[in-house]
Amino acid sequence: MANTGVPVKAMRETALYLSGFQKRDLHGLNLAYDGTLTIDRFMHRGRAVRQDLNQWIEANLERHHVDVHHGRATFVDAYTVRVEDETEPRLLEAGVILIATGSTPHRPSTIPFAGPGVYDSDTIQHMERLPRSLAIAGGGTIGCEYACLFKVLGLDEVRIINSGERILPFADSEISTMLREGMESLGVEFHMPDFVERVDATPALTLQLRSGKQLEPEALLVALGRRSNVAALRLENAGVWLDEHGQLLVNEHFQTNVPHIYAAGDVIGGHALASTAMEEARMAMDHAFPFGGRFRLNDITAGLDSTSGVGAFLPIGIWTIPEISMVGETEQGLLAKGVAHTVGRWRYDANPRGMLLAEHWGLLKLLFSLPDEKLRGVHVIGDNACELIAAGLVAMTLGATCSTLIDTCFNYPSLSDLYKYAAYDAMGRIDRGDVYRPWAPAQPPLYPQKTSSRNSSDTP
């Protein structure tokens, strides 16, 4: 993460700062970037933060007396790893092994990555100068983050080509629809559902789409998922199995089919986030060394019901503009599972702090199961979404209900107060019977898209 995600986040902060994006509407200023910066200067802050982070990680490893061997690791057998470095190979033996080799961008063979102007999510960080127009294949996390970043930086044209009907299909559909609207208002254009069928990189970049359209962007970013780094490991020497997609199989303790060999992070797939990777690795090592840690995960979760295990509540943060974050169930997930529930929403522009920020896109959406009124999902779009999620995440981990949030006193004026008002909104819906019950006769959708992002008129 320090080497991939952090520079992108730093670029985003720099882009927001340079463009005056956040302040523009408030103060009537327009500090638009004039396009004269090179990408190298633009990456300055990212490099500095990455260097600091890497130094901090190295110091931390040293402080914990961890021996670090730089080089490429391959399995010799189930207890021995060979490390090839610049000098001589070393053999390391261990009773417990954790595979955390991460992932690399998927590069479809049909795309000429050697051609000028063709990038993946790793190489785009080394682009020499900003293009005027950029096409992005893929409407997932990386594609959407880069699209917002480059549009805010002042590129004339940023287009996303996405094969699905929705960007970020794993997100709550109301939030991903709002995000698309937010991105469109920045000027990002969408071609979806559509597909990049052919790319010609010489003499100029030409994309042939399945719909028959042809695009001629100055640069192409391919963000079509990532692949686990397993090929070089020689897992067969350790007897570790992969599934038919080349994915490492692990159980709930992150053990592979060879019980003392664990795997965590991007290499096992899933949401491929640094936060999740660190938590998985911690849980894996907690299982491998049950009496080794001072703080035991099970101590924290002891006494919670079976649905509130820590692994069930891994948050997702996406640094698009507007930012989004989520944890737990989505509304479509609860509907698909036939879980009785209701929704509570509150918009930033009906919250004093949100008004100060003038955050037009902001919304907090809470999902409560019924009849227990437990918090099952938290979805945020808008400024500081990735921070604001934390209150909901802790509340869910501790088994909070709608009343817990109503009974909590939040700072004023603060975005956290959105939790209280979204909970009031949910309570109002429960009182009015505005809830989804799987056993009820078929009825029209409860929350039509056009009005869904508005707050209930039921103010407390």
Residue from 13, 10, 9, 17 nearest 33 by CA = 17
CB–CB of 224/108 below 8 Å? yes
What lies within 8 Å, CB to CB, of 338 at 6+ separation is 438
Query: Which range, of 266-274, 389-397, 424-432, 449-457, touches ligand FAD by CB under 6 A?
Result: 266-274
Q: Which is nearer to ligand FAD, 73 or 192 (CB)?
A: 73
- Rounded to a whole number of angstroms, the minimum distance from the CB of residue 41 to ligand FAD is 19
The backbone torsions φ and ψ at residue 255, rounded to the nearest 5 degrees and listed phi first, read: -90, 140
CB–CB of 145/320 below 8 Å? yes
Ranges within 188-207 binding ligand FAD (CB under 6 A): none
Cis peptide before 193 (omega within 30 of 0): yes
- Rounded to a whole number of angstroms, the minimum distance from the CB of residue 228 to ligand FAD is 9
Residue 385 binds ligand FAD, judged by CB under 6 A: no
Residue 97 binds ligand FAD, judged by CB under 6 A: no
x/- contact string, 138-177, with ligand FAD (CB under 6 A)?
----x-----------------------------------
Question: Which residue in the set 14, 19, 121, 452 belongs to the binding site for ligand FAD (CB under 6 A)?
Answer: 121
Question: Which residue in the set 5, 154, 309, 413 belongs to the binding site for ligand FAD (CB under 6 A)?
Answer: 5
Residue 53 binds ligand FAD, judged by CB under 6 A: no
- Rounded to a whole number of angstroms, the minimum distance from the CB of residue 221 to ligand FAD is 10
Q: How far apart are CA 70 and CA 83, in angstroms?
A: 8
CB atoms within 10 A of CB 239: 13
Q: Which is nearer to ligand FAD, 232 or 394 (CB)?
A: 232
Q: In what order do the strands lie in the sheet with 375-381?
A: 316-318, 324-328, 375-381, 363-369, 341-347
- Rounded to a whole number of angstroms, the minimum distance from the CB of residue 334 to ligand FAD is 25
Residue from 355, 288, 276 nearest 317 by CA = 276
| H/E element, 60 | helix 44-63
Residue 404 binds ligand FAD, judged by CB under 6 A: no
Q: Which is nearer to ligand FAD, 319 or 361 (CB)?
A: 319
Query: Which range, of 109-117, 211-219, 260-268, 394-402, touches ligand FAD by CB under 6 A?
Result: 260-268
Query: Which range, of 196-204, 273-281, 340-348, 404-412, touches ligand FAD by CB under 6 A?
Result: 273-281
- Rounded to a whole number of angstroms, the minimum distance from the CB of residue 126 to ligand FAD is 12
Residue 266 binds ligand FAD, judged by CB under 6 A: yes
Q: How far apart are CA 223 and CA 140, in angstroms?
A: 7
Q: Which is nearer to ligand FAD, 320 or 351 (CB)?
A: 320
Residue 265 binds ligand FAD, judged by CB under 6 A: yes
Q: Which is nearer to ligand FAD, 99 or 427 (CB)?
A: 99
Residue 195 pairs with which residues in a beta bridge?
none
Residue 272 binds ligand FAD, judged by CB under 6 A: yes
Query: Which range, of 95-103, 321-329, 336-344, 441-449, touches ligand FAD by CB under 6 A?
Result: 95-103
- Rounded to a whole number of angstroms, the minimum distance from the CB of residue 309 to ligand FAD is 20
Give the helix ranges, DSSP H, for 172-327. 173-186, 274-288, 297-301
Residue 275 binds ligand FAD, judged by CB under 6 A: yes
Residue 208 pairs with which residues in a beta bridge?
198, 214
Q: How far apart are CA 110 and CA 212, in angstroms?
A: 17
Cis peptide before 315 (omega within 30 of 0): no
x/- contact string, 8-47, with ligand FAD (CB under 6 A)?
xx--------------------------------------
Question: Which residue in the set 39, 49, 73, 314 belongs to the binding site for ligand FAD (CB under 6 A)?
Answer: 73
Residue 273 binds ligand FAD, judged by CB under 6 A: yes
CB atoms within 10 A of CB 460: 10
Q: How far apart are CA 35 and CA 210, in angstroms?
A: 32
Residue from 217, 175, 85 nearest 377 by CA = 175
Ranges within 281-340 binding ligand FAD (CB under 6 A): 317, 319
Q: How far apart are CA 16 and CA 434, in angstroms?
A: 40
Specify whether the backbone of 239 is left (phi greater than 0), alpha (psi in -120 to 50) or beta.
left
CB atoms within 10 A of CB 34: 8
Ranges within 229-248 binding ligand FAD (CB under 6 A): 229, 232-233
CB-count burial class (<10 Å; 0-12, 13-18, 19+) for 371: exposed
CB–CB of 228/266 below 8 Å? yes
Residue 1 binds ligand FAD, judged by CB under 6 A: yes
- Number of shown-chain residues binding ligand FAD (CB under 6 A): 25
Query: Which range, of 86-94, 159-167, 265-273, 301-309, touches ligand FAD by CB under 6 A?
Result: 265-273
Q: What are the residues binding ligand FAD (CB under 6 A)?
A: 1, 4-5, 8-9, 72-73, 100-102, 121, 142, 229, 232-233, 265-267, 272-275, 277, 317, 319
